[in-house]
Amino acid sequence: AQTVTQSQPEMSVQEAETVTLSCTYDTSESDYYLFWYKQPPSRQMILVIRQEAYKQQNATENRFSVNFQKAAKSFSLKISDSQLGDAAMYFCAYRSAPNSGYALNFGKGTSLLVTP
């Protein structure tokens, strides 16, 4: 199974500032998808952004963007203009191959605190 590593258990950012969450993964596949999910205290899993490995252009969704470095197997999430509502647990995930039912492999998560 592919391994997803989030090396920052906790991060803190001030409101309106920018923060970057790190994620690395291990795979031998050439085509795959990567995701960032947000889990607020409500427990709901919310898709923030996705990246297709064969696309060189980094994905962007409003204030959220990724830095995808395929050779380095790195997939970091940048949150710009941080808001209090961004406080949550963030999970990086890798979508597995068809023979594993396209299941998601998750990192252990990064807890993001946003301070006023």
Residue with tokens 């085509």: 31
- Is residue 82 within 8 A of residue 14, CB to CB? The reply is yes
Which of residues 61, 63, 81, 103 is near another protein by CB under 8 A?
103
Which of residues 11, 50, 67, 78 is near another protein by CB under 8 A?
50
Minimum distance of another protein from residue 50's CB (angstroms): 6
Instruction: State the number of binding residues for another protein (CB under 8 A).
Output: 23
Residue with tokens 């050779």: 71
Q: Does 9 participate in binding another protein (rule CB under 8 A)?
A: yes
- Is residue 79 within 8 A of residue 18, CB to CB? The reply is yes
Q: Does 33 participate in binding another protein (rule CB under 8 A)?
A: yes
- Is residue 94 within 8 A of residue 34, CB to CB? The reply is yes
Strands 60-61 and 74-79: unpaired
* Residues making contact with another protein (CB under 8 A): 1, 4, 6, 9, 33, 43-45, 47, 50, 52, 91, 95, 100-109
